[in-house]
Amino acid sequence: MIILWTDALIYLLILVMLALGLYLRGKEHIKRPLQQIGSSKIGMISLVVLLFFVLIGLLDSVHFKPADDKKNEIISLLDDWATPLREHGEKTYSAPFATKLYSKEMMAMPDGSMQWGYPRLEFGGRHLDDPETQRIRDILQKGFYGLAQGVGLTGLFMMLYLCIPTLRRGNTVRVAPAARAVVNPSTKVVWLVLFIIVPLATTLIHLSAYYHVFGTDKVGEDVFYQAVKSIRTGLVIGTLTTLIMLPMAIIFGILAGFFRGWVDDVIQYVYTTLNSIPGVLLIAASILMVQVYMANHEAAFTSVIVRADMRLLFLCMILGVTSWTGLCRLLRAETLKLREMEYVQAAHALGVKQGAILLRHILPNVMHIVLISVVLDFSSLVLAEAVLSYINIGVDPTSYSWGNMINGARLEMAREPIVWWSLTAAFVFMFALVLAANLFADVVQDAFDPRRSGNE
């Protein structure tokens, strides 16, 4: 097993979240909002979708060298599972579910003559003898088979879920009643979503063994595989950047607002200065720096994937460093307001130390702002990645990302006949992720804002 830098940070993030979960487990005032999220249909639906994305992202974050190492490459668990997808490349573009190439070329006919036409694909629909007549039927058949697999699988899980608690109750062992209480009220919806997502996934997986469900790109690579691989890049850019940005924004913003005076002056100077340097310039400079560094230390960056990972990490860091100012400004303003609130004054009067006031009175009361901006930033960062890829200072051109896919689609849209599937696949995946994140954040915010949760 090989741990890349971004992998390590992702594991760290998960550890932190687990620790936080353990710490907050028994807290009454945390449990109630969680129950509210649990009872919100939209919240649970978007959570399930998000978790699905996260699961794929995590699978794609466990890297190792395959046992039969020929090409000195590092692959992830996801790659291992999707080996056929990865290796079944065509020559160039092909449409979704196509059996023939998208462009004409000279083909050698069985009788030895040469003909100008659309050649059969090497892998897509290879098992068919006569694609024209069998294709639709075959797709439906295989699709249905995949669907049935998914429904069966979900059904099995549901049976297990329903049976195990009864068994346990028989043994008078009750595990995690709190966790069940959190999920219970909208279990139905969760199962409904699972019954949609899992069969959809199995159908796609099953079909992708025989066809290119989202077509292939210019060099003949499967677009479905690309889109799935891009999930990790999107999640990494969205979460790691935030992880880097948040501490700076929160600490500086709150300190500036709370202490005012020279602390405020210094912090304001820092962020106004940083703000007046064009972000693109900083990003370009740091990416070039990394590239130069990697070129000078070639021994440490032997694999393509390690290089791409280093570049991704630096992109996250530099995006984080340039994007904390907006949130910092908001938090400073909010803290300026909060520090005059009477409960802060009462805390002063009670002899509470300043650090404790910051942690107990200021920080929790700005968290809603942090939450909102994190989610908004998450989506805008995913988009920023696309823009940066456009001017070639985004993620490495060899790594998969929706940005790269959309960037490539620029030329494909201008082509005649048009190649629409790369863009569509990237759009659908990105849309699902960003929408789910936005909806979930809304619900979380409603639940954790005491003034609003009181209304319902």
Partner 1 sequence: MNNPILAVERLSITFNHRQTVVDDISFEIHAGETFALVGESGSGKSITALSVLRLLPNNARLNAEAINLHGDDLLKRSEFELCKIRGRRIGFIFQDPMSSLNPVMTIGSQIEEVIKLHFDLPRDAIQQRVLELLQQVELPQAPQRIKDYPHQLSGGQRQRVMIAIALAGKPDLLIADEPTTSLDVTIQAQILALLKDIQEQTGMALWLISHDLALVSSIADRVAVMQQGKIVETGATAEFFNQPKHPYTRKLLNALPSMQNCLAHSTEENPPLLQVSDFYCHYPIRKGIFKRIVDYVRAVDGVSFDIQQGKTLALVGESGCGKTTLGKSLLNLIPGSGRVVINGVELNGLTGEALRRQRANIQIVFQDPFSSMNPRMLVGDIIAEGIRALHPEVSAEQRKARVRQLLQQVDLPEDSALRYPHEFSGGQRQRICIARALAVDPKLIVCDEPTSALDVSVQAQIIQLLKTLQQEKGVSYLFITHDLAVVAEIADDVAVMYQGKIIEQGGVAEVLTQPKHAYTKKLLAAVPVLKMDH
CB of 368 to partner 1, least distance (A): 9
How many CB atoms sit inside 10 A of residue 242's CB? 24
Residues 6+ apart with CB under 8 A from 408: 217, 218, 422
Q: Judged by CB under 8 A, does residue 346 bind partner 1?
A: yes
Residue with tokens 């106004």: 272
Binding track over 21-50 against partner 1, x by CB under 8 A = -------xx---------------------
Nearer to partner 1, 81 or 343 (CB): 343
Nearer to partner 1, 167 or 349 (CB): 349
Measured CA to CA, the distance from residue 368 to residue 236 in angstroms comes to: 23
Q: Looking at 182-190, 228-236, 344-352, 414-422, which segment touches partner 1 (CB under 8 A)?
A: 344-352
Q: Judged by CB under 8 A, does residue 223 bind partner 1?
A: no
Q: Judged by CB under 8 A, does residue 456 bind partner 1?
A: no
Residues 6+ apart with CB under 8 A from 434: 378, 379, 382
Measured CA to CA, the distance from residue 335 to residue 330 in angstroms comes to: 9
* Interface with partner 1 (CB under 8 A), residue from 345, 410, 418, 435: 345
Nearer to partner 1, 31 or 142 (CB): 31
Under rule CB under 8 A, which residues in 233-272 are in contact with partner 1? Answer: none
Under rule CB under 8 A, which residues in 361-420 are in contact with partner 1? Answer: 361, 364-365
Measured CA to CA, the distance from residue 78 to residue 83 in angstroms comes to: 8
Report the greatest alpha carbon distance in the chain: 97
CB of 341 to partner 1, least distance (A): 6
Instruction: With CB under 8 A as the rule, give the number of residues binding partner 1.
Output: 22
Q: Judged by CB under 8 A, does residue 127 bind partner 1?
A: no
Measured CA to CA, the distance from residue 285 to residue 188 in angstroms comes to: 51
Measured CA to CA, the distance from residue 125 to residue 94 in angstroms comes to: 12
Q: Which helix (H) or strand (E) holds 155?
A: helix 131-170
Q: Which helix (H) or strand (E) holds 108?
A: strand 105-108
* Interface with partner 1 (CB under 8 A), residue from 21, 66, 247, 450: 450
Q: Judged by CB under 8 A, does residue 297 bind partner 1?
A: no
Which positions lie near partner 1, rule CB under 8 A?
28-29, 341-343, 345-353, 356, 360-361, 364-365, 450-451, 454
